[in-house]
């Protein structure tokens, strides 16, 4: 006899089994394809990736050094470090035939996520919430729908993870961007792809000697409410905190 949670999982797997008939031929929906600037928002450009000089790192060492770190120093992070982390988690590496290929894979190259960051300590950036615009490699400032950026600490089971971080990542999924093409199967891809993004963040942080912690234990309703998203057409899928190592 399956427990309730076992049953929920089985039902999810059953209802998202691969079926060719689910592949759609509909037009891509007109929802924001990925972070797009609203008319009243000012673009905050990030340091260009090809102009950032980083110390060379042995790739295998970065993979070996990947680990979760939950306590951070009070030191500020540099904007160029933030620029690299955003690029290697959701940045665009190539535009071809109307598609945007990024530093992470995505089924159908559809990239169904939005990236917001909570900034506590980054040189040259006011604390607050920002959204990343991958096509511009820039940020825009965002207002909280309720409370302020510090309210976001309390959505986590361990509030220190966000309050002590220099920055925290909030990834939200816009399912319509995936479902129009892959039908129910697309739901699986959302969760798989969130994992790709966070793993890239871990490896990039290892290469830059930054601490990072993936966060799955957060209050969904609270975070969606603070961000002003409905939890249905867009919902928070994953978080991570980052900071200088103590
Ligand atoms: C999906 C997922 C969710 C996680 N959620 C949390 C979390 O909410 N809080 C936390 O402190 N660590 C969280 N972690 C980090 C794990 O606890 C950590 O990866 C684990 O202890 C293994 O340590 P390592 O990453 O150093 O190998 C999460 C990791 C994953 C992959």
CB 70 near ligand 1, within 6 Å: yes
Ligand 1 centroid to 157 CA: how many Å? 12
Dihedral sign, Cα of residue 101, residue 67, residue 195, residue 115: negative
CA 121 to CA 126: how far, in whole Å? 8
Instruction: Tell me the CA–centroid distance for residue 29 and ligand 1, in Å.
Output: 34
Q: Measuring from atom 19 of ligand 1, which residue has the nearest CA?
A: 68
Mutational pocket test of ligand 1: of 72, 156, 215, the residue with most ligand atoms within 8 Å of the beta carbon: 215
Of 84-98, 136-150, 197-211, the least confident: 136-150
What pLDDT was estimated at residue 95? Answer: 92
* Ligand 1 pocket, residue 99 CB under 6 Å: no
The mean pLDDT value of the chain amounts to 93
Residue 71: pLDDT over 70: yes
Rounded to whole angstroms, the Cα distance separating 152 from 144 reads 9
The fraction of the chain above a pLDDT of 70, given in percent, is 96
Strand ranges (E), the chain: 44-45, 92-96, 99-102, 113-119, 128-133, 138-142, 167-173, 210-215, 235-244
Quick one: tokens of 28? Answer: 């891509």
Residue 67 Cβ inside 6 Å of ligand 1? The answer reads yes
For the chain, first and last CA: distance in Å?
48
Higher pLDDT, 96 or 73: 73
What structural domains does the chain harbor?
42-244 (3.40.109.10)
- Residue with CA nearest ligand 1 atom 30: 214
Is residue 238 pLDDT above 80, yes or no? Answer: yes
Q: Look at residue 87 in the predicted model and tell me its pLDDT.
A: 98
- What mean pLDDT do residues 110-116 have? 97
Q: What is the pLDDT of residue 245?
A: 97
Summarize pLDDT for 176-187 with one digit per residue, the tens: 999 999 999 999
Name which of 24, 26, 8 is nearest 184 in CA terms: 24
Give the model confidence (pLDDT) of 138-161 as tens digits: 999 999 888 887 889 999 999 999
Ligand 1: nearest atom to the Cα of 68: 26
Q: How far is CA 100 from CA 55, 56, 104, 224, in A?
A: 28, 27, 11, 27
């Amino acid at each position: 006899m399956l427990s309730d949670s076992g049953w929920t999982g089985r039902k999810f797997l059953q209802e998202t089994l691969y079926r060719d008939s689910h592949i759609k031929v509909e037009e891509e929906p007109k929802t924001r394809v990925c972070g797009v600037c609203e008319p009243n928002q000012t673009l905050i450009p990030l340091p260009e990736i090809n102009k950032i000089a980083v110390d060379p790192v042995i790739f295998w060492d970065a993979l070996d050094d990947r680990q979760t770190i939950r306590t951070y120093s009070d030191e500020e992070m540099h904007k160029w470090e933030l620029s690299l982390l955003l690029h290697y988690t959701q940045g665009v590496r190539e535009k071809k035939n109307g598609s945007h290929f990024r530093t992470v894979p995505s089924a159908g190259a559809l990239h169904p996520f939005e990236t917001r960051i909570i900034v506590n300590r980054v040189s040259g950036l006011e604390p607050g919430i920002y959204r990343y615009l991958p096509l511009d490699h820039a940020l825009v400032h965002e207002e909280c729908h309720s409370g302020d950026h510090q309210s976001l600490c309390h959505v986590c089971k361990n509030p220190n993870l966000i309050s002590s971080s220099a920055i925290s990542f909030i990834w939200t999924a816009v399912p319509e961007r995936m479902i129009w093409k892959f039908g129910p199967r697309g739901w699986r891809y959302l969760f798989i792809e969130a994992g790709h993004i966070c793993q890239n963040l871990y490896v990039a942080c290892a290469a830059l000697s930054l601490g990072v912690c993936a966060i799955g234990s957060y209050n969904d309703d609270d975070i969606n409410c603070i961000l002003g998203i409905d939890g249905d057409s867009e919902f928070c899928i994953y978080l991570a905190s980052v900071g200088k190592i103590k």
